[in-house]
Structures are given as C-alpha cells and as structure tokens.
Amino acid sequence: MAISPMNFPRLSLFVAGDIQDQISKPEIWQLLVENGFVHRTTVQAVGFCRDLKTNSLVVVLPKAFGILNREELQKPRNKIDQTYLLVRIFNKIHRQTNLSTQLIASNKPLPQTLSGYDPILDSFEAALKLVQEFQSQGFYFRKVRKSFRDAHSYPINWAKTLKQSNPSLQDDEIFLASSVHIGKRLTLAHQLSELHVRTLREIYDLIGLRFPDEGFEKIGTQPLSRTPISRIFNLIEQLSHEIYDDRGQFLLRAIRAYLGAGQSKYSRATETNPLLVYSANFENIWEHLLRDQFGKSVPVPSCGQWFPYPAETPTVGIQPKLDGYCSLERFGIIFDAKDYQLTNQEKWIGSASDHYKQIIYRSLLERQNPQTYYFNILMFPTVQTNNLFEIRGGHCWPSIPQSIVFEVAVDYEKVVRSWLGEIYLDKKKELFNLIQNIQVFQARLLGTQVT
C-alpha cells in the first residue's frame, strides 16, 4: 500500500488479555467497555472498535501478540499488516455462513458524523468503501465519442464518410459503399476506469477476496506499485477537473484517500461496516482454524451413562467432545485450542480442567483404538517463532499412567496465512516433526525409549 511510513495515532493496536492499567488512555478503555470488549478489568474480545467522536479505530489483536513489545506492535507497517490480516480472517468467517453468527458479531452503529483526518485510518476506511461501492455499482464505465462504420443507429459523420468512401453517381442518386457514424459508447478504456480497476485489484488482494473480473481480465492488470505515487496523484488531480458525475468524483476522492493523501469524507452517510466486527471469544475461531488445517475428522469417544436412583436403568450420560484431532500413521494427536497470553515456561498455562479433559479423552480413545498411540496437546497461539510448533513443556501425574499433557506454542501467523491460502505449509511434515520432538522430550521425562 502506498502509505507514508509515519506514526498515525488514530489507528491503535491492543492485545486481548491486556488489563486496564496497560491502556494509558481512559477514553480508549471506556470505548472498549461500551462496545463489549471488556470483561471485568480485562480486554477479552478481538476485532475492530470505531470511535466516531475522535475518528479513531482501535484494533484488538488475539492474545498471541501478548509476548511482543508494545512499541514494536505500534510500528506503522505492523499496524497495516495485522489490521488487514484480521480483516481477512473475519471476512472468510463471514463467507462460512454456518460459523459467522456463532463466532463474530457486528459493531453497533453510532449515529455520529465523522471528523478529523488520519491517512492510515482514512485509507482503511476508503478501501472498505471502495469494495462496497463496487459490489453494488460494478465497473466504472465512461461514455466516449467514437466513430463506427455502418452503425446506422448513430448519426452519419458526412465529412469522414465522403473522405473515406468512394461515392458513385447513378442517375440522380449517390451511392456509398459504406458510411461512418459518430456516437457515444460505454467503455473501460478510460484513465479513471483503469485506475479504479487497478486499485480494486490491490484491495481485494489485501482483504483476501477473489476479484470478480470475468470478461475484463486484461483491464487494469498493472500493479499500483509499478507507478510512482506522484504520477497517480497528478492523474487524479487532472481527472478531477475533467470528470463531474457524482460517482466519478466519489471514486477520485476515495482512491486518493486509499493511497494515503486525502480525506475520506466522500460521503456523509453513517452506516455500520460489516467488516468492522469483533469476536467475544476468539478461542472459538482459533479452534476452527486449527481443526480446519490439521484435522477435520474428529473421533467420537464413547458416551457415558447415567444411572438414576433407584431404578438404576442407564440413560445417556456425558458425551465427550474433542476440540480437534489429527492422525499420522500409528499416532493420534488429541488437541485442545487455547487462547491465553503466554508467559515464561516455568509454569503451565492451561487450566486444571483443560488437563483433566485431555486425560479422560485419551483414556476413552485408547480403549476404542488400542493400536493407536495418543498424545495430548494444548495448542496456544504465538508469534515470531522459528518453527510452526514449539514445545513449552508437559504436565503429568506420575502415579497416573499416560497422564502427560503437552503445551505447544503454535505460530499464529503461519496457521492463519495457510488457512487463508496465502502460503503453503507441509502439514504432514510439520506434524511428524512435532511428534518426533514430543517423543524425545517424553522419553527424557519418563526415562523410557523413543517408540
């Protein structure tokens, strides 16, 4: 994106799990409270919170980013990258309609007029507005005057017709082999039309959508980055004196705002943007991502039984529900997606109930499939890791066989970008390496041989 590398205070990034004392501005804390992001004294929701009073956008990232230095997180490039990455996540969840209502909610509309000006914030807003406008209006066609041969629905251009045709005189009539007509036709062969398409291609790529260019695949294919930004701004300035229709003027202002050099006050209408949403429980999304990437087929452990007193006739009891499961050869990984901020490795992070459930799941599955060797893993999102999976440690009760539960940090960005189809992960290789490392670690803990 062509945005000047400056620090723009109206776009602020925070991390779920932050407490009130970590947010220095009381007005931002109050904004998060009013929009349902806070539980007691902790920020819990993940997503976007827009304050129309100050024309600011607060982005709350998942707890995976809790390990980062906050100054590092506030760098402009990180702001842009992580804001759009979160947009792409929510956008894909939106498209998976069976999950959308369960995992995310829209921000409530605030009937206030936008004020202020900030290049990055306006750029982000303009990008979303350009997509919405295109989805409702389509491509921007311009009417241009053009000559057509033998197009009899248009008026004849007599000067060109007589010049280009050889008339023949028969009696008192003149015959023309062909005629040239002048008229107006809708076309995309216009500078603004092409700039519009080039901008849309870049925005669609940023938010993870396929650009619907059927029939116009060859229009606007040159990336915006291939043209000096000053040349684009000069073109916009030139076109602003030539184009007077409302839509054309809107597109010029919106594209200029998207490129970071103009205000996005192209519309006074106030509405809630469907992409500015939040999730009150991002752990559900993290669980969905892991299950979608590493194992969609989850085995169902046998159901428990309930014996009412005094009849003692058994009825259906507790039905265990695994968050996720993946298998590789003779190994099975029972994993539970957890969304906690990671601290030092001197202490486990998962709750006691997390560990209890894992041991029960393993015990039930071992009885159903004794030929499979199971591992229990709690998977926590993190960032800036060398490997996709990094073992944090393991907890067990020495007196209970097979009670070890491993805690593994998983690279959030790699998983997300793979889920979005932006990078390729050799999942089988990654899982095999994880199993090998766990086996070695487990053998050291328990004094056994690697199996």
Q: Using 50, 70 and 90 to split pLDDT, how confident is the model at 7?
A: very low
Look at the block and give the residue holding tokens 């500015």. 276
Sign of CA dihedral 62, 65, 67, 71: negative
For residue 431, what are the CA distances in angstroms to 45, 388, 427?
A: 30, 9, 6
Q: What percent of the chain has pLDDT over 90?
A: 14
Strand-strand pairing, 315-316 and 324-328: unpaired
d(CA 90, CA 94) in angstroms, rounded, equals 6
Of residues 369 and 189, more confidence is placed in 369
Binned at pLDDT 50, 70 and 90, residue 153 comes out as low
Q: State residue 414's pLDDT score.
A: 93
Structure tokens that stand for 73 in this block:
């997180």
Structure tokens at 139: 């491509």
Least confident of 122-136, 226-240, 256-270: 256-270
pLDDT of residue 379: 93
The answer on pLDDT for 97 being more than 60 is: no
Average pLDDT over residues 20-34: 84
Contacts of 120 (CB under 8 A, 6+ apart): 3, 8, 10, 11, 76, 79, 80, 260
Q: What is the mean pLDDT of residues 369-393?
A: 92
Q: How confident is the model at residue 312 (pLDDT cuts 50, 70, 90)?
A: confident
Average pLDDT over residues 335-349: 79
- Give the position of tokens 């007005």: 27
Residues above pLDDT 70, as percent of the chain: 76
Confidence of residue 8 (pLDDT cuts 50, 70, 90): very low
Least confident interval from 42-51, 71-80, 152-161, 439-448 = 152-161
Q: What is the rounded CA–CA span in Å between residue 288 and residue 440?
A: 29
Q: How many Cβ atoms are within 10 Å of 313's Cβ, its own excluded?
A: 8
Q: How confident is the model at residue 339 (pLDDT cuts 50, 70, 90)?
A: confident
The mean per-residue pLDDT over the stretch 173-185 comes to 70
pLDDT, position 276: 61
Non-local (6+) Cβ contacts of 444 within 8 A are none
The one-letter amino acid at 64 = A
pLDDT for position 268 = 36
Weakest mean pLDDT among 46-55, 98-107, 145-154, 300-309: 98-107
Question: Where do we find the tokens 């030139």?
Answer: 238
Task: State the pLDDT confidence band at 334, using cuts at 50, 70 and 90.
Answer: very high
Provide the pLDDT confidence category of residue 231 given band limits of 50, 70 and 90: confident
Mean pLDDT of 65-77: 77
Residue 162 or residue 437, greater confidence: 437
The predicted structure's pLDDT at residue 70: 73
Burial class (CB in 10 A: 0-12, 13-18, 19+), 328: middle
CB atoms within 10 A of CB 140: 22
Query: Looking at residues 190-214, what average pLDDT do you find?
Result: 84
* Three state DSSP letters for the chain: CCCCCCCCCCEEEEECCCEHHHCCCHHHHHHHHHCCCEECCEECCEEEEEECCCCEEEEEECHHHHHCCHHHHCCHHHHHHHHHHHHHHHHHHHHCHHHHHHHCEECCCCCCCCCCCCHHHHHHHHHHHHHHHHHHHCCCCEEEEEEEECCCCCCECHHHHHHHCCCEEECCEEECCCCEEEEEEEECCCHHHHHHHHHHHHHHHHCCCCCCCCCCCCCCCCCHHHCCHHHHHHHHHHHHCCCCCHHHHHHHHHHHHHCCCCCCCCCCCCCCCCCCEEECCHHHHHHHHHHHHHCCCCCCCCCCEECCCCCCCCEECCCCCCCEEEEECCEEEEEEECCCCCCCCCCCCCCHHHHHHHHHHHHHHHHHCCCCEEEEEEEEEECCCCCCEEEEEEECCCCCCCCCEEEEEEEHHHHHHHHCCCCCCCHHHHHHHHHHHHHHHHHHHHCCCCC
Average pLDDT, integer, range 378-401? 90
| Cβ neighbourhood burial of 40 (10 Å; 0-12, 13-18, 19+) | exposed
**When comparing pLDDT for 113 and 209, which is higher?**
209
Q: Could you report the per-residue pLDDT of 45-62, keeping only the tens digit for each?
A: 898 887 766 667 788 999
Cα–Cα dist 131/112, whole Å: 22
Which tokens go with 95? 């498209």
pLDDT for 390 equals 93
Tell me the pLDDT tens digit for each residue of 105-151.
654 433 333 333 445 556 777 787 888 888 888 888 877 666 667 66
Average confidence score pLDDT of the chain: 78
Q: Which CATH architecture has domain 281-446?
A: 3-Layer(aba) Sandwich (3.40)
Q: What is the pLDDT of residue 272?
A: 44
Tokens 């030539």, residue located: 242
Mean pLDDT lowest among 127-136, 165-174, 306-315, 340-349? 165-174
Extents of the domains making up the chain? 11-139+190-278, 143-187, 281-446
Cα–Cα distance for residue pair 61/383, rounded to 1 Å: 12
Two tokens at 230? 């000053």
* Residue with more model confidence, 185 or 139: 139
By C-alpha distance, which of 391, 372, 382 is closest to 438?
391
Nearest by Cα to 411 from 382, 437, 390: 382
- What pLDDT band is residue 290 in, cutting at 50, 70 and 90? very high
Angle between helices 119-137 and 246-258 (to 10 degrees): 140
Pairing of strands 315-316, 305-306: antiparallel
Length of the chain: 451
